[in-house]
Every structure is written in C-alpha cells, then in structure tokens.
C-alpha cells in the first residue's frame, strides 16, 4: 500500500514536490514526467485526462488555476477520495503561500522552497487516504475535508470561555482544541469553509507541543490572497486555544490574555480532556453491541469518531477487533457508503460533475454484514451516523440502536453538537 | 404420369391423416412399418409438416430452404425472415458480405411481386423433389410422400411462361476449371442432384427451359471457391460438351474419376439487375421489419457512423510492435471505428493511452483497466483490453454508461469477439471481417447510446434519436450486463420434456435421414444445445463457459432482443465459433478458463460451429464440434442441410409440444417468486386475485376448446396429475441451484404414463381400432418412466420389480432399442400430432395453473419488487421477466434504477470478498485489498421513494424500500439481490432459500 503525490508546474512540467506514504520506492523522475506528459499531450488534443485505474491502483490528475498540476497514485482508494485529497492538497498549498504566489510562479525554485513548510501537513493528509498501512498510530483516523470534534460534558461551559477569550484577542475566529479535536469554537469560526477549519485544526496539531505559535496563513476560500495570523497557546497538556487574528495583537499579548482568561478553568479543562478517546461523555450509555461510532455532519463539516470502551472492558478480546482496526473499519465503511449511496453534497463543481449522479435521492440507511462485525449507517438530513456492531447483533436491532444513538448525540444541548 | 397420380393420392392421404389421426395410425403401422422405421420421426415431422404447410400455404416449403442462398463464401449464414405483418409477401435479406447474392435475392423478391417470384420456390421445389426422389427410389417405399413433383409441375406449367429472367446474349463468357472428385464428393444429403454434389452448383433454367442458369452455390462445394462464377450465369458447357438442363445429368455421370472439368459460363444479366434493384427496392417498401434490417445490416450505416463520429464513442485496435519514429500517421492502427481515424474520438490521442498502458505497470502491479477523460466537455470512459502486444481501446460516454457498466460491456464485447473470431487479433487484422465488424460496432454503439435498447424505429428517426438520447443520462443496468443468461425455470414436467427433446437432438442419431449418410462418418458432434423463448433461456445443455459465450453472442447480435420484440418466420444462423470451454481452439492455454491441465479429458483439436435456428419467438442454439470422431473438415464450412433441418424440426416439435405457450403463460403470470409493482404497496394485503385469474383463464381455455378428445384428455390429466404437482421437495437439495433433471421424476414419470393411458383410452373410445402403435406406446412410456426412475438411483419403490428387470435387461441388450422405440413413439406423435401434442400441452398448462404463486418475503403481504439471483458457476441468473413493451410506472423505473445502481456497488464489494476468500494465507498479507473490506457477505441500502408532485394526492404516500445483496459461499459462490418494501424485516437466507426452492421446479 503506497500513496504517491506529485506536484508539477503546469507550464513547464517542473516538479515542485513529491510525497510518498507507505512502503515502496519513491517514483523515479521518468515516471513522474511521463505521467505529467501524458496529461499535457491529452490536453493539447482537447482530451483532458482525469483518472486511470488498474485493478487496485488509481491515478488521478488535476490542474489547479492553470498553473499547478497535481497527480496522485494510490492503492485501494476510490477516485472520489483521491479527488478530495487533491483538493485538500491544493488548499494546503494556498494556505502556506497564497494563491498569487502559486498562480504567478515566476521562480519555481523559490516556490519549491516555500512549499517545503507544508510537508508535515501534506503527510497528515496522505494518512487520511492510506487505508491499509499496518503501523499507523491509533489516533490518526481522519477524514478529508471534515474537522474532528469531541463532545465533552463541559462544552457549554467552555463555549462561553472561548467566546470571551476571542473577544479579548480581538478575533472572530476562536477555537479550543483538545487532543487535536475541536471542542468548542466561536460561531463565526463554524461559518468558515469545512476545508479551512480542517486545515487550521490540523496545522495546530501538527505544530504540536510548542506552548505558543504564530503562523501566517492564507484562507483557501475566504481570503486566498491576504494572510491571517493563526495564533495558538497551549493551556494544559494536549489542550490549545487558537484564533485567527489580524496584525494585532502580538503573540505575547495573546499569551498574557490566555492565562488571564483560562486560569480559572483549569479543572474544567482537565475534566474535558478525560473524555478522550471516547470523545463523548460517559453519561451517555450505549448498547453493549456497539463497538464504535462515527457521526458526520456534512453541512457543518465536522465529524466525531469514537470507540465504545465499555465493550472493550466487558468482553474478552479474543474475537473482537482491536481499537484501531475498529476505527479503520468504520472509516472504510464511511468511505464506501459516502462515496456510493449518500453523497448528496456534490460539492465538486467541475464541468462534468453535472452529469454524475442524475436525479437520484440518496439512501437513508445502509448496512454491511461481514463475518466479524456489522456496520450500519443512518442518515438524517445532513447528519450521518455510522455504527460498528458486534456480529451477533441482528439487523433490525441494529436499526433501532442506531436511531436511538443518533437522537441522544444530536439532541443533547450540553454537548453542543 | 403414373408417379404423379400415385403421389397425389398419397398427398390426399397425408392430408386426411391430419384430420383423422387414428386411421393413419393403423395404416402406417400395418402396411408401412418399414417406412416408419426407416423414416424415423424426423422424416415424419418433415413430411407431415411440410405437406400440411404445402396444403395450407403454397409458400411453405419454398421458404424452408431459402436460407441456403444466403450462405456466404466463408460458409457463414445469418438469415432472418420476419413474420409478414402488414403485407402478405415475405421478404428476406442477406448478410453484407456477398453483395451479388444479395442482389440476386433482391431481384428474386422483386420478382415475387410480379408473380414471377415463383422462380426461387420453383428451384427449391425442384431440389426438394429431387431429393425426395433420390430418397424414395432406393428404398422403394411408396409411402414416401412425393407430393412435390406434381405440384411443382403444375406450378411450372402455370407460371413458367412468365419467368423472364433478363437474358441478353452479349454477356462476357468465362472458362472456369473446377476440380471434381466423384468418390469424395461432399455429402449433401439424400436429395442432392449430381450438379450439386459434383460441382457445388445449384442450377435452374432460363425461360426457354433448356439453358442452365446458376441459381446458387452449395456452401462447401467446388464452385463457390471460384469467385468468377456468379448467380445468374448461364452454364454453357462442361468440358466442351454443350449442356442443357435435360442432358446435364448424363454429362456429369460420365465423370467417374477425380479430374478437373472446364466449365464455360456466360454472364447474362450483368449490372442491369443490380441497378434496377437499387432503384426499385426503396419504392417496394418494407418487407423485413426494421429491426431485422438493422440486424442484417441492410440499412445505411454510413449515416450512423457520421452521427457516431460527433459523439464520444469509438473503438481502436492498436498494434504496438514495429512502430517507427517517422512512420505514417496511422501506423499501428489495426482497426478503427467509426472511421476515419482522423475523425475518430480516440484517433489523435491514442498515444496517451498507449503510454499509460506501458507506464502503469511501473506504478502498480497490474495494467490499466480504464481511464476517465473529459472529451469536449463530456465525461468519457476509455477501457483498455490488452492482448499481448496489442491493445483495444473502447470509449463510451459516462452518461450512457457508468464506469462499472463500461468495464462490463467491454468484457462482454471481448467475449463475443473471441467467440466469433478466436482472438481479438484475428478479428481485427483480417480484412475480410472488416465489413462485419463495422456493422457489429455500429449496432453496438447505437444500442449503447439509445439506452441499451435495440432501435426499432425508422432509420432517420433513429439517428436523431441517438443524438438526442446521447445527451441524457441512461438508467442504470445490471442484469443485462452480467455474463449470465436469464433463465426462466419452467414447471417441472415441461422442463423434463424439454430436456428430453434436446437430448434427442444431441444424440445426433439421424443417420437414417439420408441413405448416403449411413455409411459415412458423422460430420459433427453436438456438444451442447440450449433453447430460448423470447430471449429467456428455457433449458441449456451447454457447459457454463459455452453458455456464457452463446448468451453473449446472442445478446450482442441482437438475437435476444429480436426474440423479445417480434416473432420471426424463420431464422438460421451458422458460423464457425471458438468456444471458451475448448480454449477458443488455441493450442496454448492463453485463457485459463478450463482446468485442462488437471482434467484427464483433453478437448479435441477441432473446429466448432454454432447453429441457431429460430421460428416464432423461440430460438434453438446448437453447438457443434468437428474433431475427434467426426470427419475432419477443411476450408470454409457451410451449414449442413441435415443438421439445420434437424434442428428446425426439433424446434417445431418443441413448439408443438406446447412449451412456448407454457413459457409465455409462465412469464406473463409469474406466479412463483411473485413480484409486485410499487403502486400496490400501501395496500396491506395483496389480494389473491392474480391466482384466481390464472386458474380462471386456464379453465376457460379448457372449456373453450370444444374438441371432445382434448377436453376429455386434459380433464382427466388435470385431475390425475394435480395431486402430484404439490410435490414435496427434499430440503437438503434446495439450495442447489438447479434441479437436476432427475429430481422428482417419480411424479413426472407417473404423471406421464397416466397421460399416455388417457390418450389410449380416448383413442380406443373414438375409433375401436386397436392400434399397434398405441399399444406399443404404453410400454414405452412405462419403460421410459422406469429409465428415469432408474437414474433416480432406486429411490423409487413403486415400480414393479418384474418391469424393472425387464427394462434393465432390454437396456443392456442394445442401447439402440431405446432410440428405436422412442422414434416410433415420436413418429406416432407426429402422425397424430394434432391430438397428442395438444393433449400434452394442455396437461402441462393445467400443471401451470395448479402451482400456487409463491412469495419470497416474510410477512402477511408480498413486498418484493424485484430480485436477481446470480450464479456465475452455472452462468445463469434468475430474475422476474420485465415486460419491456409494457409501459412501466415511473415509480418502478426509479426503484429499478436505484436497485441496479446499488447492485453494481454491492456486486463489486461481494466479488471482492470472493476474491479474497480464494487467496491463500500468505497472499493475504501481500495483497492490496483493504482489510476492512473483506469477508462482507451482506450489504443493504434503504431508499426512500417519494411520489411525484402529481401523484402525491393518491393513496400511496412516500415509502421506503431496501435493496439488499447477499453472498453465499457454499456450495459455490452465488449472489442474491432483492428489492423489497420496508414493512417487515426480512431474512436474506430465507429469501435465498425460497428462491432456490421456486427455481427447482
């Protein structure tokens, strides 16, 4: 299993960067050049190559703004997923250097150097596509284009704190990250494009352990040409408070304000952090058959991924799946289901997209029965809940539990879903 | 003429025999025993049916052999004759390859209108009569129906003066040397003339009744190899002897040793005929139906390819070897459609796909399957099919054909081409196949663009249609793309009958058909047969791979659609094929379809031929093998008259048996796995009206036939067979796909013998002649019943031991006896076919009425909309027949669209699971399959069907329905897909169980 990502200038075919994830040799330059050449040749004959697939590998080409060509080749990923990846990759590039720099790349060498800063972020994105790698850490089950949230019982308390803090640092866009997941954020922040939210949260968690940071960012949709400042302060271990600011206030002042605002809420924060890795409060009891769940809101662009630890403790681990594998199954299920039956988003606005998916109403529910587990997905409006069950749970029970769980999670005011 | 008088009397007798079966029964059995023996049931059927049709309609026997003229130089034949609907005249056309024959035929048809058209029938009649004479004389049997000559001579005297074939003396004369071998002449059957056997020429006369005109060719004869001999030529001399129609035979009989003879021919009516034809034919109006014309390729394809050029479709076959830098623009392109290359969609960018083909193995472990491109703003899929160093590219637009469908369609196409031409390379490189391929692809794309349906409209309308339709998205397809035949399991009795008839044909024992045959080695072995009704498979005796091949062939050639849409008067297709079960006739196992290495049986290195005969809406497919024990055949082989007639007679026999009626009823009512239309859903209880209707209909049919015998017989059969029809079925065998033909034969057999006895009863009632035949019939039936029981491995205890031993001893004595008896029995059936067969079909129909509609779903009411049962191991699928002519409700269309689209996705997931199961432990770790995707056995999707604005006021509100696919591993992988209303939870295992149950008769 290997994912290759290539970026070249459309005009000259100069390679800007190549990234690879998974085991396997990096692609020789001749192959990269040929892949680009084929696309260029086709375009000269007014045949725009979009993708090519073999039995298991898919290659996808995409040209952005007539200046950057992105090519990705991956095993076991659908074309739709790879298209999504390329969108995110381009957004990362915009985030780092701005659209102007990309479009009018006078100096490819300089651009190449500038793009180096986004490598860590790109690698994280590639993880989202990599589905079969065995050595992956448990905490990077991630979905493209959606920001991961955590539902703590303390969220309604934290909400007011975040709002106050954002006012103090003179920002509309403040958000609180617990272990890389958004707990609460200002209402303006939720108005951002899901892609932007995703990348900002990811950027902060990639920057990792530093107590405070100040990064210039371009917002790919909102302001691709004018940079903002992304400031982040570590509060307690694994918890960061972040905001998008203008030129002021400086980072030192932000740090100062943060300490002022949050020093009274340390206990609340610590309690909220306990929520991990279940990601929703222990007060909500789930059925024993539930092994994990994935709650997605396409419109808000957020998702919640959780595994039910009660079953972990209660049952012998002989037959049940390991935690990471469970999340993997859920994610695969989501990709399969979202790609085929429930993609009502149809956000891709390319010329050909109109032809895809004629007048089809998306599915309401779908399920899988495998020999080891069962999956069930229930859609309600734009919210989709995928639940992983033990294989012993009957199908009609599955439907009932899923319905009840969805009601619990989305109905609870304290959780601020 | 003495002869004439006698034959006339015989004709009368024949005719009478139609009406009074009993008398001829006695007569034939007492006086003409030898006749019936040597004749066999084939002869019986042939003569009786042709005589009846002769008596009824003059054109009957003439059209029987019309197809012989349509055989092309390669021995291929594709002949369809539509049923005349509006006009009494029937027309025929001819494949594209041999233009001159077509013209000739056309002129003949033109002549038909002007009452000169008897000519061709005359020729045929003459040939028939010749054959009959040939047959009758050596056996010396007076009973042979020789009604033809007298009739013919009548016709001749009546019409011959009007036959003025345009003959001018000033045609060019040619000398042709033909090698002749009287010892080793091709076996043409009993009725061939000397000229036919020796020279391979079918001859007739010009208006003066003396000069010989070339009327046609014998498919594998000597003459057809010489392209300079044309139909319509005047045969002036043979080896310098001036010949006339009167002396030709005597001249030819002088040739006793193999030698070369010089034929002198003169072109008589060169281009004038053709010009007249091309002018005349449009004004003559439509004789063939539009669909048939389309299939035969008689309509303008140039316009079609012009239209196609504007659309993102195309096929290219590229050779990647021997390309040079500065070569011509089109180097490496072996085939291209739509031509020319410069305007072809793929033509200019083929390099890109070639590069990808080379490049991707560096990236991935396998070559590319498909590419998606944006072509003139339209999303288009390009599917790769690599064959060694050669590559086929096929482009189809996404809105007509999703990626999944495109890959399936391509696989289908490749399968069909390989079946036809052995390899893709053969198909595309050989220039001779070019016109046929062009025609094939034009149809293929036209069908693809007009949402998978064969066009039946007028050509111009149709062309417009294509351009408009091509811009709309097509409904999803699933069942029609899979490499599996849609099987309709008939009631058990009918299935057994059908299997038996097919087995008889396969036994290939018709040596008695012509006396010259008896001493010869056989020409072909029948390796399988199958029968279609309205495009649905009724029974198949083909190996899985062959069935898939045949089905694909029929689908791609439009024969399935033809069967579904219109009855034909006659269809004959003959061509050499390369079945997958025989490794496509390749020595090296290129495609590892068959486990040749493990099996001790090596398929013989031979040649294979596909013979399809059709009549009405039935189609009989016969796969013949030449090799092994048969005569070695060289060169192009045309259809053999014996085999074609044999197959045709079998088909006629099946029709007489009433199988089509049962199948039609079965399809129309669909009582087992019953499906409902979505409009009926909110009604909690579906009323059992449908079953009432069925019963009522059959009853009324019973009573409406006033014939005493039939009503009596069917009545008794009904009462006697009905207890058996509710047969218990062993639980263990239910999940097997197919009822082995033997299962439950206990009841079948006894039901059968009951029938036999009833017919006997009524016979003795009607006329107190104790006929030997019917006496004989009862033991046969018993014996046959026991034979079937014997094959049931003694599970049956009702048979009396004495009889069992009796039959067994006879069995071991000589296997022929079975056949003899069978034949005489068949003969009997044919003699009084009106009586016996209708009787049988009646009883079979009554059997249909007895079967209660079964329902797959659990719960009070039936909630099933659609189902598909897929069995790739057998190459068949079960699903409810969808009446395409009927305007379906929009709702059902929407549901089916969702169903099929979901099935495509589920199918991929399930196939993945199967593939994974087959991997060994070590390969699993290496494989690139997503581990989370393995071992999935069931996948369900819930959809909501919201009514349109217009109909939401009606009682049916929005409702939800499930589409579920399930995989079963044992005994072999099968997939079941169902679509049902979400009112009661369903268990897929139970549904599959019931589905298997209903399919097993």
The H or E element spanning position A366 is strand A365-370
According to the model, what pLDDT value does residue A37 have? 92
Q: Which residues in chain A have their CB less than 8 angstroms from residue B936's CB? A: 368-370
Q: Residue B930: which pLDDT band, with cuts at 50, 70 and 90?
A: low
CB contact (8 A) between residue B936 and residue A367: no
Question: Which of A83, A89, A85, A120 lies closest to A102, judged by CA?
Answer: A89
Give the model confidence (pLDDT) of B277-292 as tens digits.
Answer: 333 333 333 356 666 7
What is the distance between the alpha carbons of residues A323 and B446, in angstroms, rounded to a whole number? 53
Nearest to B363 among A51, A57, A369 (CB): A57
Q: Residue A36: which pLDDT band, with cuts at 50, 70 and 90?
A: very high
Question: Which of B175, B186, B179 lies closest to B259, judged by CA?
Answer: B179
**Cβ neighbours, 10 Å, residue A381:** 10
Spatial CB neighbours of A121, under 8 Å, sequence gap ≥ 6: A92, A95, A96, A199, A202, A203, A206
Q: Which residues in chain B have their CB less than 8 angstroms from residue A48's CB? A: 373-375
Averaged pLDDT, B78-85: 69
What is the distance between the alpha carbons of residues B252 and B528, in angstroms, rounded to a whole number? 40
For chain B, domains (ranges, CATH) are 167-268 (2.30.42.10), 290-481 (3.30.450.70), 485-590+603-663 (3.30.450), 689-850 (no CATH), 864-999 (no CATH)
Token representation of residue B547: 């069935």
What is the distance between the alpha carbons of residues B594 and B580, in angstroms, rounded to a whole number? 8
Spatial CB neighbours of A98, under 8 Å, sequence gap ≥ 6: A218, A224, A225, A227
Averaged pLDDT, A257-262: 88
Residue A176 pLDDT > 60: yes
Give the model confidence (pLDDT) of B731-774 as tens digits.
Answer: 333 334 344 343 333 333 333 333 333 333 333 333 333 333 33
Pick among A5, A363, A391 to test the B interface (most B CBs inside 10 A): A363
According to the model, what pLDDT value does residue B601 have? 57
Let me know: does A189 contact A204? Beta carbons within 8 Å.
no
3-state SS record for A44-90: HCCEEEEEEEECCEEEEEEEECCCEEEEEEEECCCHHHHHHHHHHHH
Could you tell me how many residues make up chain A?
417
What is the distance between the alpha carbons of residues B85 and B533, in angstroms, rounded to a whole number? 20
Cα of B599 to nearest chain A Cα, Å: 30
Sequence-ordered alpha helix ranges (H) in B879-987 = 890-918, 921-926
Greater pLDDT, A91 or A142 = A91
Q: What average pLDDT does the structure give for chain B? A: 64
Find residue B962's DSSP bridge partners: B942, B980
Could you tell me how many residues make up chain B?
1001
CB contact (8 A) between residue A370 and residue B940: no
A141: Cα separation from own chain's centroid: 9
Averaged pLDDT, B905-931: 72
Spatial CB neighbours of A185, under 8 Å, sequence gap ≥ 6: A162, A173, A174, A175, A176
Let me know: does A233 contact A245? Beta carbons within 8 Å.
no
What is the distance between the alpha carbons of residues A389 and B674, in angstroms, rounded to a whole number? 34
Nearest to B931 among A28, A38, A132 (CB): A132
CB contact (8 A) between residue B937 and residue A371: yes
Averaged pLDDT, A287-315: 77
Compare all CA atoms of chain B with the CA of A75 and give the residue at the minimum distance: B928
For chain A, domains (ranges, CATH) are 2-129 (3.30.450.60), 154-273 (3.30.450.30), 290-346+359-411 (3.30.450.30)
Let me know: does B441 contact B945? Beta carbons within 8 Å.
no
Residue B692 pLDDT > 90: no
Number of A–B residue contacts, CB under 8 Å: 170
Q: Which residues in chain A have their CB less than 8 angstroms from residue B367's CB? A: 54
CA dihedral B366, B369, B375, B380 (to 10 degrees): -150
CB contact (8 A) between residue A371 and residue B960: no
* Residue B558 backbone zone (phi > 0: left; psi -120 to 50: alpha; other: beta): left
Let me know: does B95 contact B80? Beta carbons within 8 Å.
no
What is the distance between the alpha carbons of residues B316 and B312, in angstroms, rounded to a whole number? 13
- φ/ψ of B149, rounded to 5, equals -55, -45
Place of tokens 């059902």: B892
Give the model confidence (pLDDT) of B361-403 as tens digits.
Answer: 888 888 899 999 998 888 899 999 988 888 999 998 888 888 8
CB contact (8 A) between residue B985 and residue A49: no
CB contact (8 A) between residue A54 and residue B897: no
Let me know: does A149 contact A181? Beta carbons within 8 Å.
yes
Nearest to A31 among B359, B371, B901 (CB): B359
What is the distance between the alpha carbons of residues B776 and B754, in angstroms, rounded to a whole number? 15
What burial letters (b/e) apply to A280-314, b meaning 16+ CB within 10 Å? bbeeeebbebbbbbbbbbbebbbbbbbbbebbeee
Q: Which residues in chain B have their CB less than 8 angstroms from residue A329's CB? A: 932
Greater pLDDT, A100 or B267 = A100
What is the distance between the alpha carbons of residues B752 and B745, in angstroms, rounded to a whole number? 10
Pick among A368, A373, A374, A403 to test the B interface (most B CBs inside 10 A): A368
Spatial CB neighbours of B739, under 8 Å, sequence gap ≥ 6: B489, B492, B495, B999, B1000, B1001
Report, in angstroms and rounded to the nearest whole number, the Rg of chain B calculated over CA atoms.
30
Place of tokens 């036209």: B446
Let me know: does B455 contact B446? Beta carbons within 8 Å.
yes
CB contact (8 A) between residue A360 and residue B898: yes
Give the model confidence (pLDDT) of B117-138 as tens digits.
Answer: 333 333 443 344 334 334 333 3
Q: In what order do the strands lie in the sheet with A181-185?
A: A181-185, A173-178, A239-245, A223-234, A212-219
What is the distance between the alpha carbons of residues B350 and B333, in angstroms, rounded to a whole number? 9
Give the model confidence (pLDDT) of A133-150 as tens digits.
Answer: 554 444 456 788 888 888
Q: What is the largest CA-CA distance in chain A?
A: 66
The H or E element spanning position A296 is strand A290-297
Q: What average pLDDT does the structure give for chain A? A: 83
DSSP three-state, residue A394? coil
Nearest to A46 among B355, B376, B901 (CB): B376
CB contact (8 A) between residue A48 and residue B373: yes
Query: Exposed, middle or buried by CB within 10 Å (0-12, 13-18, 19+), for B156?
Result: middle
What is the distance between the alpha carbons of residues B635 and A245, in angstroms, rounded to a whole number? 86
What is the distance between the alpha carbons of residues B205 and B383, in angstroms, rounded to a whole number? 55
Q: Please state whether the peptide bond connecting residue A92 to the residue before it is cis, i.e. omega within 30 degrees of 0.
A: no
According to the model, what pLDDT value does residue B584 have? 76
Compare all CA atoms of chain A with the CA of B374 and give the residue at the minimum distance: A48
Greater pLDDT, A49 or B919 = A49
Least confident window among B672-686, B830-844, B851-865: B830-844
What is the distance between the alpha carbons of residues B561 and A79, in angstroms, rounded to a whole number? 35
- φ/ψ of B895, rounded to 5, equals -60, -45
What is the distance between the alpha carbons of residues B100 and B105, in angstroms, rounded to a whole number? 8
According to DSSP, the β-strands at B234-238 and B259-266 are: antiparallel
Residue B323 pLDDT > 50: yes
Token representation of residue B491: 């009631």
According to the model, what pLDDT value does residue B5 have? 45
Token representation of residue A21: 């994830």
What is the distance between the alpha carbons of residues A359 and A346, in angstroms, rounded to a whole number? 12
Q: Residue A8: which pLDDT band, with cuts at 50, 70 and 90?
A: very high
Greater pLDDT, A348 or B520 = B520
Q: Which residues in chain A have their CB less than 8 angstroms from residue B897's CB? A: 360
What percent of chain B shows pLDDT beyond 90?
Answer: 4
CB contact (8 A) between residue A329 and residue B348: no
What burial letters (b/e) apply to B233-251, b meaning 16+ CB within 10 Å? bbbbbbbebebebeebeeb
Place of tokens 């031409």: B421
What is the distance between the alpha carbons of residues B73 and B961, in angstroms, rounded to a whole number? 56
Considering the entire predicted model, what is its pTM?
0.70
Report, in angstroms and rounded to the nearest whole number, the Rg of chain A calculated over CA atoms.
22
What is the distance between the alpha carbons of residues A5 and B688, in angstroms, rounded to a whole number? 62
Compare all CA atoms of chain A with the CA of B926 and give the residue at the minimum distance: A1
Q: What is the DSSP letter of B521?
A: P
Angle at B87 between CA B86 and CA B92, to 5 degrees: 115
Q: Residue B300: which pLDDT band, with cuts at 50, 70 and 90?
A: low
Question: Which of B622, B633, B549, B626 lies closest to B583, judged by CA?
Answer: B549
């Amino acid at each position: 299993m290997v994912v290759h990502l290539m970026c070249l200038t459309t005009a000259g075919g100069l390679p800007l960067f190549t990234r690879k994830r998974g085991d396997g040799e990096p692609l020789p330059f001749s192959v990269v050049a040929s892949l680009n050449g084929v696309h260029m040749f086709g375009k000269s004959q007014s045949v725009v190559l979009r993708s090519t697939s073999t039995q298991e590998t898919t290659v996808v080409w995409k040209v952005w703004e007539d200046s950057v060509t992105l090519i990705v080749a991956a095993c076991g990923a659908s074309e739709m997923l790879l298209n999504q990846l390329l969108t995110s990759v381009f957004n990362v590039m915009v985030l780092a250097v701005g659209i102007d720099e990309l479009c009018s790349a006078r100096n490819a060498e300089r651009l190449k150097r500038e793009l180096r800063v986004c490598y860590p972020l790109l690698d994280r994105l590639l993880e989202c596509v990599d589905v079969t790698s065995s050595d992956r850490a448990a905490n990077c089950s991630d979905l493209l284009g959606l920001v991961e949230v955590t539902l703590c019982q303390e969220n309604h308390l934290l909400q007011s704190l975040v709002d106050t803090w954002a006012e103090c640092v003179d920002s509309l866009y403040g958000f609180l990250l617990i272990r890389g997941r958004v707990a609460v954020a200002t209402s303006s922040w939720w108005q951002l494009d899901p892609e932007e939210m995703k990348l900002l949260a990811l950027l902060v968690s990639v920057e990792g352990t530093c107590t405070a940071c100040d990064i210039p960012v371009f917002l790919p949709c909102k302001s691709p040409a004018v940079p903002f400042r992304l400031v982040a302060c570590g509060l307690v271990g694994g918890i960061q408070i972040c905001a998008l600011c203008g030129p002021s206030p400086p980072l030192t002042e932000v740090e100062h304000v943060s300490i002022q605002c949050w020093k009274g809420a340390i206990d609340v924060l610590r309690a909220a952090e306990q929520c991990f890795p279940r990601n929703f409060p222990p007060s909500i009891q789930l059925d024993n058959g539930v092994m994990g769940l994935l709650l997605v809101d396409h419109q808000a662009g957020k998702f919640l991924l959780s595994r039910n630890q009660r079953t972990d403790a209660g049952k012998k681990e002989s037959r049940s799946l390991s935690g990471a594998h469970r999340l993997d199954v859920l994610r695969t299920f989501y990709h399969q289901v979202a790609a085929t039956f429930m993609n009502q988003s149809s956000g891709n606005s390319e010329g050909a997209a109109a032809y895809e998916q004629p007048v089809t109403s998306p599915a309401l529910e779908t399920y899988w029965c495998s020999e080891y587990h069962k999956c069930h997905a229930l859609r309600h409006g734009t919210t989709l809940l995928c639940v992983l069950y033990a294989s012993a749970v009957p199908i009609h029970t599955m439907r009932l539990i899923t319905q009840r769980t969805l009601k619990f999670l989305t109905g609870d005011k304290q959780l601020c879903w | 003429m003495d002869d004439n008088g006698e034959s006339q009397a015989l004709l009368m007798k024949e005719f009478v025999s139609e009406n009074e079966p009993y008398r001829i029964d006695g007569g034939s059995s007492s006086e003409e025993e030898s006749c019936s023996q040597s004749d066999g049931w084939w002869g019986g059927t042939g003569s009786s049916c042709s005589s009846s049709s002769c008596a009824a309609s003059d054109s009957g026997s003439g059209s029987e052999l019309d197809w012989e003229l349509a055989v092309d130089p390669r021995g291929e034949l594709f002949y369809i004759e539509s049923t005349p609907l509006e006009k009494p005249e029937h027309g025929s056309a001819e494949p594209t390859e041999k233009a001159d024959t077509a013209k000739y035929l056309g002129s003949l048809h033109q002549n038909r209108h002007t009452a000169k058209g008897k000519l061709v029938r005359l020729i045929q009649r003459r040939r028939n009569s010749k054959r009959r004479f040939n047959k009758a004389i050596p056996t010396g049997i007076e009973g042979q129906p020789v009604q033809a000559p007298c009739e013919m001579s009548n016709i001749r005297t009546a019409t011959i003066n009007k036959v003025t074939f345009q003959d001018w003396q000033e045609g060019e004369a040619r000398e042709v040397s033909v090698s002749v071998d009287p010892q080793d002449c091709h076996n043409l059957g009993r009725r061939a003339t000397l000229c036919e056997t020796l020279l391979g020429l079918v001859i007739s006369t010009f208006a003066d009744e003396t000069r010989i005109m070339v009327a046609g060719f014998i498919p594998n004869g000597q003459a057809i190899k010489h392209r300079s001999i044309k139909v319509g030529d005047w045969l002036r001399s043979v080896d310098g002897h001036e010949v006339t129609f009167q002396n030709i035979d005597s001249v030819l009989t002088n040739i006793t040793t193999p030698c070369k003879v010089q034929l002198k021919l003169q072109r008589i009516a060169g281009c004038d005929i053709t010009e007249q034809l091309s002018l005349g034919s449009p004004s003559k109006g439509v004789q063939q139906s539009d669909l048939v014309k389309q299939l035969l390729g008689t309509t303008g394809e140039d316009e079609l390819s012009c239209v196609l050029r504007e659309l993102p479709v195309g096929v290219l076959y590229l050779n990647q070897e021997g390309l040079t830098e500065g070569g011509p623009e089109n180097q490496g392109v072996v085939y291209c459609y739509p031509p020319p290359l410069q305007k072809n969609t793929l033509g200019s960018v083929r390099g890109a796909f070639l590069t990808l083909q080379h490049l991707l193995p560096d990236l991935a472990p396998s070559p590319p399957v498909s590419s998606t491109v944006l072509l003139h703003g339209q999303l288009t899929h390009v599917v790769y099919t690599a064959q060694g160093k050669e590559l086929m590219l096929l482009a189809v637009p996404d809105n007509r054909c999703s990626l999944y469908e495109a890959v399936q369609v391509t696989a289908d196409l490749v399968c069909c081409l390989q079946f036809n031409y052995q390899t893709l390379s053969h198909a595309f490189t050989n220039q001779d196949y070019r016109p046929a391929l062009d025609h094939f692809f034009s149809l293929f794309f036209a069908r693809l663009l007009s949402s998978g349906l064969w066009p039946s409209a007028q050509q111009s309308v149709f062309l417009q249609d294509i351009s408009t339709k091509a811009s709309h998205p097509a409904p999803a397809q699933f069942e029609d793309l899979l490499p599996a035949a849609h099987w309709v399991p008939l009631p058990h009795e009918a299935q057994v009958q059908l299997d038996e008839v097919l087995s008889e044909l396969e036994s290939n024992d018709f040596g008695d058909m012509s006396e010259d045959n008896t001493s010869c080695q056989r020409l072909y072995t029948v390796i399988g047969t199958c029968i279609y009704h309205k495009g649905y498979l009724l029974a198949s005796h083909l190996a899985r791979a062959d069935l898939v091949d045949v089905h694909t062939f029929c689908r791609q050639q439009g024969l399935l659609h033809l069967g579904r849409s219109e009855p034909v008067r006659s269809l004959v297709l003959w061509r050499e094929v390369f079945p997958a079960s025989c490794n496509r006739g390749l020595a090296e196992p290129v495609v590892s379809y068959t486990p040749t290495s493990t099996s001790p049986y090596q398929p013989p290195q031979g040649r294979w031929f596909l013979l399809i005969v059709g009549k009405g809406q039935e189609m009989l497919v016969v796969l013949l093998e030449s090799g092994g024990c048969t005569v070695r055949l060289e060169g192009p082989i045309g259809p053999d008259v014996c085999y074609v007639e044999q197959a045709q007679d079998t088909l006629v026999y099946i029709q007489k048996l009433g199988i089509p009626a049962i199948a039609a009823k079965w399809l129309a009512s669909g009582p087992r796995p019953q499906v409902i239309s979505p409009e009926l859903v909110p009604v909690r209880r579906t009323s059992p009206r449908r079953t009432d209707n069925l019963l009522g209909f059959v009853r009324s049919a019973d009573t409406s036939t006033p014939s005493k015998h039939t009503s009596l017989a069917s009545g008794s059969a009904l009462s006697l067979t009905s207890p058996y029809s509710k047969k218990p079925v062993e639980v263990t065998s239910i999940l097997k796909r197919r009822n082995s033909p033997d299962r439950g034969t206990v009841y079948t057999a006894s039901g059968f013998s009951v029938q036999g006895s009833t017919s006997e009863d009524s016979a003795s009632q009607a006329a107190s002649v104790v006929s030997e035949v019917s006496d004989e019939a009862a033991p046969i039936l018993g014996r046959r019943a026991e034979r079937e029981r014997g094959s049931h491995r003694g599970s049956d205890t009702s048979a009396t031991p004495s009889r069992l031993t009796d039959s067994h001893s006879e069995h071991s004595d000589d296997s022929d006896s079975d056949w003899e008896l069978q034949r005489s029995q068949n003969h009997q059936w044919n003699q009084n076919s009106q009586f016996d067969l209708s009787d049988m079909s009646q009883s079979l129909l009554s059997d249909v009425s007895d079967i209660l509609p079964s329902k797959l779903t659990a719960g009070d009411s039936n909630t099933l909309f659609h189902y598909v049962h897929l069995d790739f191991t057998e190459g068949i699928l079960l699903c409810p027949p969808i009446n395409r002519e009927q305007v379906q409700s929009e709702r059902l269309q929407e549901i089916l669209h969702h169903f099929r689209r979901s099935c495509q996705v589920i199918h991929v997931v399930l196939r993945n699971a199967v593939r994974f199961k087959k991997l060994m432990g070590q390969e699993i770790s290496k494989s690139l399959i997503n581990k989370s995707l393995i071992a999935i056995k069931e996948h369900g999707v819930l959809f909501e069907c919201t009514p349109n604005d217009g109909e939401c006021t009606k009682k049916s509100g929005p409702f939800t329905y499930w589409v579920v696919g399930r995989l079963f591993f044992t005994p072999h992988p099968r997939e079941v897909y169902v679509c049902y209303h979400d009112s009661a939870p369903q268990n897929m295992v139970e549904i599959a169980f019931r589905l298997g149950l209903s399919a097993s008769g």
